[in-house]
Amino acid sequence: MSGIISHSIRNIIPFLIGVFIAVLLYLIVGWWGFWIIFPWIGFSISAGMFLRSNLKGRKRLIGRKLSILMILPCLLLFVPIVNSENFQLEGVILIVLVGFLNKGFIHFAIAKIFGPLIWGRGFCGWACWTAAVFDWLPIKSQAKNISGKYKNLRYLTLILSIVIPVYLVFVLNYNVREDYIYKKELYWMLTGNAIYYLLGIPLAFIKSDKRIFCKILCPVSLVMMPSSRLSLIKIKPKQGECIECGNCNRICPMGIDVMSYIRNKRTINHPECILCTDCRIVCPTKAL
């Protein structure tokens, strides 16, 4: 009974955190949309955790995939359409360059700069609207570890994401306040995501790897890595004995050698870990 109560309390924590953030931001900023966004994100994660607690075997894997799918319309459509804002990195840099800190900046600060100090790259695993599409692609092959030279492509996309806004503002004298804010942000948001999907979906099928875009092209992953190294929440080995079945390595969407961390009794502090915890679900001895 105590175990059931413990799981129930743990499952509701994301929703309570979402409500708390909504209250805090509403009191500071005063925008009504916070009452929808953060409670919905928290509820979606709580729903996924509930399914993981109550389903059996590999059926539990559906929990996280459902959470990330539920959050997709909230961040990709609701905020950009209702408030005409762009959550993409390029859009955030544009507004920062002119000293205008709107909800896009708030999102980026919470989810991708300061949030990783608590939950690492958990946003990538549970709430990223781009990855939500990738996670549901009908690809059954296991994720693969990618060589460093391909992963370095992310530095190119990060540089482009920074250089393009800087060039527009300081070279072309693009008037961000008059021509972009609340006017062109929606188009930038949808166009940016369309480019991500046009690159990521074909690559996923070509390489038989749903998260190939995250590994070699996503610029935001590089932004999150430094703070995620210091995160409070990490996956740790337990007392269960590793039988080296390899399930954890095969299921890991980011191609991490999870088994080596278990064997050496080390906390998984890999920069690619997205805290999906799929490895815990498939471990037959509960070694994680």
Are 274 and 258 a contacting pair, CB within 8 Å? Answer: no
Average pLDDT on 132-143 reads 86
CA distance 20 to 231: 20
Are 151 and 216 a contacting pair, CB within 8 Å? Answer: yes
pLDDT band at 239 (very low <50, low <70, confident <90, very high): confident
- Indicate the SS3 state at residue 214: helix
Q: 0.85 exceeded by the pTM?
A: yes
CA distance 51 to 242: 26
Largest CA distance in the chain: 65
If 0-12 CB within 10 Å is exposed, 13-18 middle and 19+ buried, where does residue 78 land? middle
Q: Where in the chain is the domain with CATH 3.30.70.20?
A: 234-288
Q: Which residue has the higher pLDDT, 91 or 4?
A: 91
Give the residue among 35, 26, 161, 149 at the shortest CA–CA distance from 89. Answer: 161
Q: Whole-number mean pLDDT of the chain? A: 91
CA distance 132 to 126: 8
Cα distances (Å, whole numbers) of residue 282 to 123, 250, 252, 258: 21, 10, 10, 12
CA distance 143 to 252: 7
Q: In the CATH scheme, what is the code of domain 234-288? A: 3.30.70.20
Average pLDDT on 77-92 reads 90
pLDDT band at 9 (very low <50, low <70, confident <90, very high): confident
- Residue bearing tokens 């995620």: 228
Q: Tens digit of pLDDT for each residue in 15-66?
A: 999 999 999 999 999 999 999 999 999 999 999 999 999 999 899 999 999 9
Residue 138: predicted pLDDT: 94
Residue 3: predicted pLDDT: 52
